[in-house]
Amino acid sequence: MQKNDPYAALRIKEFNTFLLLRFALVFGWSMQFIVIEWEVYSLTKDPLYLGLIGLMEIIPAFTMALFAGHIVDQKEKRNLLAICIAAFSLISLGLFLLTWDKVVGYWETQNILYCIYALVFFGGFLRSFFGPTIFSLIALIVPKKIYPNAATWSSSTWKAATVTGALFAGFSIDWIGVDKTLCIVFALVTFALLITFKIKKKPILNPNIGESVGKSLKVGLQFVFSNKAILGALTLDMIAVLFGGTVALLSVFAQDILEVGSKGFGVLNASISVGSILTMFITTYLPVNKNAGKKLLISIFGFGICIIVFGASKLFWLSVLALFFSGVTDGVSMVIRQTILQLKTPDHMRGRVASVNSMFVGSSNELGAFESGLAAKILGPSVAVIFGGIMTLVTVVAIGAKNKTLRELDLTEDIEAQDNEEV
């Protein structure tokens, strides 16, 4: 196999099955999120109820994350993923029934909302298991020497499914209605469940089966906080998402600052995603393993610059370019971060490390939206976005100066070591 083969991971049949499974699952999940938001707002006409959707999901996802990581490290990964997908299919079926007039035609709006929030809460519980399970399963499907390539393809698939799923959901609601759109989601999730069994069961590599929850979580947390490369990468991503999250304010910019309406709003959203997806595909041909630490710092610094430019811009074309390059830099940092996690995490600890990662990134997404909204209320949207970009730059400089391990990180040494092990 060629050393820099951009299709190395795709030459493994099980990994292709995994990518198809992940695309179907994330595509359906993204559709479902959009449809839920649409339905809840249609029922209430109150944006506060939209905020409650995120709250209902993040509470169980955050509080269960570490425990979920412990369970993932103790159990067989293929079957655990199948259980999670089966449970998710029940949520999709439940949401379909809650939007079908033949079932809830005479229900009060409040009762329908309670049931929707209950299913979203259950989805948040499942979310705490999905990330660690998928992260751990990838490492059991591909050889260690092609982890970076596998991480790139997996991240690209996730991003593409997220974008296209959300886009398709909007059109589908208009074409066939909410209930039939959720029926499509149920079909996609069922399809993902069926092809899960095309992946063989994997060995459990944790030597400490039966270890107490308390001890297991303590060991996992100690590992993350003592590994400067992993901790630095997670912290950078958390701060960038927390302070650089412009997505929550894009509708404000589209309507009140750039005055480009709903079509311009769509272009602004799409520009971020297009930048990320293009970059992640390019990195399959141009690996970013050499001097990965410096590239991670530079990419997130560049992300901060893009956010500042966007916040200061009053020109639509400049705003689109700024968001596009924010997507480019975010795509680079995502690939490097996932590669660091895959290469630096021992097999028996993948579930717990992925859980800590989901706590860092997952919570910062919701908190970032809240921070952006609050800062925009106090400072105004443009100043709030510029402030977030400046905070991102300050964090990058501080971590780059203090964390020598991350700054000098070169992943080619880790990959060469894996090559030598497998020769």
Residue 142: what are its φ and ψ, rounded to 5°? Answer: -110, 155
Residue 307: CA count within 13 A, CB half-sphere: 31
* Portion of the chain with pLDDT greater than 90, in percent: 41
Answer yes or no: is pLDDT of 93 > 90: yes
Answer yes or no: is pLDDT of 422 > 60: no
**What is the predicted pLDDT for the residue at 415?**
66
H-run or E-run covering 3: none
**What is the predicted pLDDT for the residue at 2?**
45
Number of neighbouring beta carbons within 10 Å of residue 106: 6
Confidence tier at 43 by pLDDT (50, 70, 90): confident
CB 27, CB 188: distance < 8 Å: yes
Confidence tier at 364 by pLDDT (50, 70, 90): low
- pLDDT tens for residues 130-165? 999 999 999 999 998 888 889 889 988 988 888 888
CA distances from 116 to 32, 33, 95, 248 (A): 12, 11, 7, 23
Question: What whole-number distance in Å separates Cα of residue 219 and Cα of residue 344?
Answer: 15
CA distances from 411 to 108, 205, 341 (A): 57, 23, 11
**What is the predicted pLDDT for the residue at 359?**
79
Residue 36: CA count within 13 A, CB half-sphere: 30
Identify the sign of the CA torsion 407, 328, 146, 224. Answer: positive
**What is the predicted pLDDT for the residue at 170?**
78
Nearest in space to 153 (alpha carbons), one of 320, 327, 285, 295: 285
E strand intervals along 195-315: none
Question: What whole-number distance in Å separates Cα of residue 382 and Cα of residue 3?
Answer: 46
SS3 423: coil
**What is the predicted pLDDT for the residue at 49?**
79
pLDDT top residue among 368 and 182: 182
SS3 76: coil
**What is the predicted pLDDT for the residue at 152?**
85
Question: What whole-number distance in Å separates Cα of residue 301 and Cα of residue 278?
Answer: 19
**What is the predicted pLDDT for the residue at 67?**
92
Residue 62: what are its φ and ψ, rounded to 5°? Answer: -75, -45
SS3 150: helix
Answer yes or no: is pLDDT of 176 > 80: yes
Which residues have a Cβ under 8 Å from the Cβ of 397 and sit 6 or more positions away?
A: 301
**What is the predicted pLDDT for the residue at 233?**
86
- Tokens for 244, please give them: 């650089």
Answer yes or no: is pLDDT of 401 > 50: yes
pLDDT top residue among 348 and 199: 199
Three-class DSSP labels, 174-217: HHHCHHHHHHHHHHHHHHHHHHHCCCCCCCCCCCCCCCCHHHHH
Confidence tier at 129 by pLDDT (50, 70, 90): very high
Answer yes or no: is pLDDT of 353 > 70: yes
Lowest mean pLDDT segment, chosen from 25-29, 75-79, 345-349: 345-349
pLDDT top residue among 123 and 52: 123
- State pTM to two decimals: 0.82
